[in-house]
Structure 1
Amino acid sequence: MRVLKFAILGLLDQRDLTGYDITKHFKDTLGQFWSAKHSQIYPELKRLTEEGFIQFDVHIHGKKLEKKVYQITDAGKAELDEWLRTKSPIPETTKDEFMLKTFFISSMDKKDAVELFTHQLLERTKKVDMLEHKLKVLTEEDPSVQLLHSVQFGHFLVLTRAIEREKGYVLWLQKTLHFINQ
């Protein structure tokens, strides 16, 4: 299944975007749970256009700069709606290099393990702070964000889940460091 297809259709269902705007969403709003690179996004835009799920208008900026502004078509909306209603199984797992290192902790000496976990704790704590800041900005910009029909409601839900995930990771890291240091 081409999940990237549906991510792009979903973004375009919210508003018309350029390829650059879509790439920015993958680095920012979608980046907490899904990734796609520039080299994946543009071929997918071409394919979606060929399939009739999106279309674009060319806008001229300045004297020469042409930008394609993409919009979802009725066929694209129907395709997105069908995918949104499909029940998907829980994914097997996500790759987490830190957890792989944790699995092999018996091959590390205590000092290296403490350094590894302390570094991860610092990084995860920074991530919680960054996510909480994004949530604060989102709710200040759009006080209705917590309402089901707000365009930003999904972003709100994903951010709150990411914060809970990272806080859980931080708590586990703190407990594990305590355990290692005994």
Structure 2
Amino acid sequence: MGTLRYAILGLLNRKAMTGYDLSKEFQTSLAEFWHAKHSQIYPELKALAEDGLITFQTEITGTVLEKKVYSITQAGKAEFLQWERSKSKIKQLPKDEFKLRLFFSDSLPKEAQIQLLTNHLEQHQERLEQLHNDLSKFDAIPPTQAAAFSDYLVLLGAISREQSMCDWLKTCIALCEKNSPFTSLDRSSKNGQ
């Protein structure tokens, strides 16, 4: 099964949800590490139901509006927990357009190279501030068995990632501003030729 299916099973293992509720979780709680579009979630829900890993009940809201509330089955819980306990290898790093642009930034004037780095730094600083705001919602470290504790751990990881990225970008900007001798090396020197 694809990882998206396990993400859905994991959410439903916490509580029953509608498709809309699941979409909101991917936009909020899971957004730091996993993305899924509305158009991806519903086909997965259908497949999970066909495989007997989830079930749903149709509820009527108002006089006409129907909504499906999904919940995990015992088979779904077993499948999810097997995946949760399994060991996995570190995957190849995802594609990163900014780092690709930075790799070739020797073709830019120094000012443009610094601007490229500065723009990216500003975005990561905004993201870091948002994550610190999210962290401030926790009055204390949640109990280890609570779902909030796992959320807290992932949030700490996201803060660490963004802080590290900001530190690295500041170092890059400082090196460019100093006009380090390394920035004048041509591409063949970089490749050890």
What TM-score do the two structures reach when normalised by structure 1?
0.95
Correspondence 1:164 to 2:185: no
Letter in 2 for 1:72: I
Post-superposition offset of 1:175: 0.8
Structure 1 gaps of 5+ residues are none
Give the share of equivalent positions with the same residue, in percent. Answer: 43
Rounded to whole Å, the distance in 1 between the matches of 2:134 and 2:67 is: 28
The Cα shift of 1:159 comes to 0.4
Give the ranges of 4+ consecutive aligned residues of structure 1 lying more than 2 Å apart after TM superposition.
none
Look up the SS of the partner of 2:160 in the other structure. helix
Shift of 1:76: 0.3
1:24 and 2:24 correspond = yes
- In the comparison of the two structures, how many residue pairs are matched? 178
Partner of residue 151, structure 1: 147
- The structure where helix makes up a greater share of residues is 1
What is residue 188 of structure 2 aligned with on the other side?
none
RMSD: 1.0
Alignment of 1:27-176 (within 5 A): 27-137=27-137, 139-140=138-139, 143=140, 145=142, 147-176=143-172
Partner Cα separation in structure 2 for residue 148 and residue 95 of structure 1: 34
Q: C-alpha distance in 1, partners of 2:94/2:152?
A: 22
Distance, in Å, in 1 between the alignment partners of 2:27 and 2:173 is 31
For residue 136 of structure 1, report the CA deviation from its aligned partner: 1.3
Conserved? CA contact 1:144–1:150, under 8 Å = no
Deviation at 1:144, TM superposition (A): 5.5
Separation in structure 2 between the aligned mates of residue 29 and residue 113 of structure 1, nearest angstrom: 34
CA separation of 1:98/1:21 partners in 2, compared to 1, >3 Å: closer, same or farther?
A: same
Determine the C-alpha separation between the residues in 2 that align with 1:101 and 1:51: 44
- The runs of 5 or more residues in structure 2 that have no matched partner are 179-193
Contact 2:19 2:42 survives alignment (8 Å): yes
Distance between the aligned counterparts of 1:96 and 1:25, measured in 2?
24
